[in-house]
Structure 1
Amino acid sequence: MSTADWLPDGFSVQQIDTNHTRLSVAVGGSGPVLVLVLLHGWPQTSRAWARVMPDLAQHHTVVAPDLRGTGDSDRPEGGYAKTNQVDDIRGILTALNLTRPVAVAGHDIGSMIAFAWAAAHPEDISHLILIDALLPGLGLEEAMNVAEGGMWHFGFFMTPHIPEMLFDGHELEFFTATFTAMSNPGTFSDHDLATYARAYTGRERLRGGFEHYRTLLDDGRENRALLAQRKLPMPVLAIGSTRSGTATAHALAPQADNVRGAVAPTGHFVAEEDPDWFTESVTAFLA
């Protein structure tokens, strides 16, 4: 299924060469308030933002790429370090002739890239929004080591080759179980689940997704080194779910000058489970 099949009215998709790879990027809106970059998580694509893009585009130019390794973007062998993916996104803005600073919202893996961007290039970011994610260097490693298994999937997904082998042929089965367990009932239709499963079907597409996890320990070391130089100067909105609460906001508090925590009335997939709550919260924060 091509990206255009889900695209909201007023948006178009461009293929952009950036940082030695090619990314598929949805762009729409021409609102007067900031450019807003939306970075999706795993196992999703830019389609994750479809339910909020039209409302956000009333106030912002919205830029939503498929991250490298996912969706309609290329799947290079390397380059998945979060600071390198920051250069992917900066290249997109340059190609689109969009000026910085911009606002950025990231979910899951996308929040890790957004955070690395804010830490490495704070001058680029006016507002930082992090949605239901642990952050490398700020608690992710400890969560992986919690007794009774902790966040077991991080270590599993980091393992070379094995996850692709085991998931191959079982993508829809696994994604259906995962999305259902981590979201409010009725959020995802069978069509939604099938579409996401297709985006990750086959060992090469699976590998592109798991590569985001295989850099996490190095990402943590990079984040700690960047934060040792300076705190985050921009306002930060850390959105948790009913499961995670304000954990990310608490982890960020010593590392940023202005952190606001919020808890969405949802599971993990905030923008899809309650689009109205998400757009209202983001719009108020950016205003």
Structure 2
Amino acid sequence: MNSTDWLPDGFTLQRTATNDTHLSVAVGGSGPILVLLHGWPQTSRAWARVMPALARTHTVVVPDLRGTGESERPENGYAKTDQADDMRGILDALNLTGPVAVAGHDIGSMVALAWAASHPDDISRLVLVDALLPGLGLEEAMNVAEGGMWHFGLFMTEHIPEMLFDGHELEFFTATFSAMSNPGTFTDTDLAHYARAYTGRERLRGGFAHYRTLLDDGRDNRALLARRKLPMPVLAIGTTRSGTSTAQALWPHAKDVRSAVAPTGHFVAEEDPSWFTETVTTFLA
């Protein structure tokens, strides 16, 4: 099994120098540009089930975020505004000019929001899929004393999560993906791919580095959005578990927020590719 066995027909994988690192990016299709940003603990493979349909109407650009997949794992640069510059550099290297549509899931949504807030003229339409957003409610959701999610605090800690997860990657991923998705969504091959992509302390560090900037990301978002609301139309996709919480967080900070609730768990594009594709292409049209 090689690193490109998941790549849909019509897509090519490229390695791009950008923002003092090198990122792997899949590109396919033609038409207006659509950038897809994956979450944790995933890679660009997260979009494989929707890439062919989206490529019928768009030039689809699908990077591995820094620290993940086939991209490099630099020590720094994981602030979401820094990663927005990663994405801008990818488009420059590919000679693709904007404005572009961007869809992000989970951590990818955080990068997409930072990009839209820091460089709003780059983005024509913004899709955020089932995400807690720094500065817009994430910090409250991290408060364990009030019933918040425990894993954020652990993942933000230096060195400790790498030590605890090392050697248990597949076990953890299987339990996590199963608990957060509809039964049958992920095959053994899918789970093995993601576990392999994060196996070993260096690969784990690259993933957890996305969490270690979250408090700074929140401060950045609040400062950026205090100056100007997001001017582009925004589609906030929730799930049967999260409802409209992402949309509610965005309402005070964007001029045009639309909400949709997917009939899925957390991994919308993989659990119901047809629903995702129809919903997103309708919004982009």
Do these two structures clear the TM 0.5 threshold for a shared fold by scoring above it? yes
| 1:104 and 2:102 matched | yes
2:6 aligned residue: 6
**Letter of the 1:204 counterpart:** E
Q: What CA deviation, in whole Å up to 9, does each residue of 1:8-33 have, x standing for no partner?
A: 000000000000000000000013xx
Report the AA paired with residue 219 of structure 2.
R
1:172-183 correspondence runs (5 A)? 172-183=170-181
Gaps of 5+ in 1: none
Q: CA RMSD in A?
A: 0.8
Task: Name the CA shift for 1:64/1:232 in 2 (closer, same or farther; >3 Å).
Answer: same
Q: TM-score, normalised by structure 2?
A: 0.99
Residue 20 (structure 1) aligns with:
20
Name the SS for the 2:12 alignment partner: strand
Report deviation, 1:136.
0.1
Q: Which residue of 2 aligns with 1:193?
A: 191
State which of 239, 244, 267 in structure 1 corresponds to 2:237: 239
Q: Deviations over 1:46-76 (max 9, x none)?
A: 0000000000000000000000000000000
Shift of 1:151: 1.2
Partner residue, 1:208: 206
Alpha-carbon deviation of 1:3? 3.3
What's the CA shift for 1:149?
4.1
Q: What is the alpha-carbon distance in structure 1 between the residues aligned to residue 101 and residue 95 of structure 2?
A: 16
Alignment partner of 1:165 is 2:124: no
The sequence identity of aligned pairs, in percent, is: 82
Shift of 1:148: 5.6
**1:65 corresponds to which residue?**
63
Contact 1:131 1:239 in 2 (8 A): yes
Structure 1 segments of 4 or more deviating over 2 A? 146-149
* Distance in 2 of aligned mates of 1:188 and 1:13: 23
1:17 is matched by which residue type in structure 2?
Answer: A
Normalised by the size of structure 1, how large is the TM-score?
0.98
Say if 1:2 and 1:72, in contact at 8 Å, map to a contact too: no
SS of residue matched to 2:34: strand
Give how far 1:147 is off.
3.9
Q: Which residue of 1 aligns with 2:29?
A: 29
For 1:260-275, list aligned pairs within 5 A.
260-275=258-273
CA contact (8 A) 1:237 1:259 kept: yes
Between the two proteins, the alignment pairs up a number of residues equal to 285
SS of the equivalent of 1:3 reads: coil
Amino acid at match of 1:123: D
Deviations 1:145-202 (A, max 9, x none): 1546411111110000000000000000000000000000000011110110000000
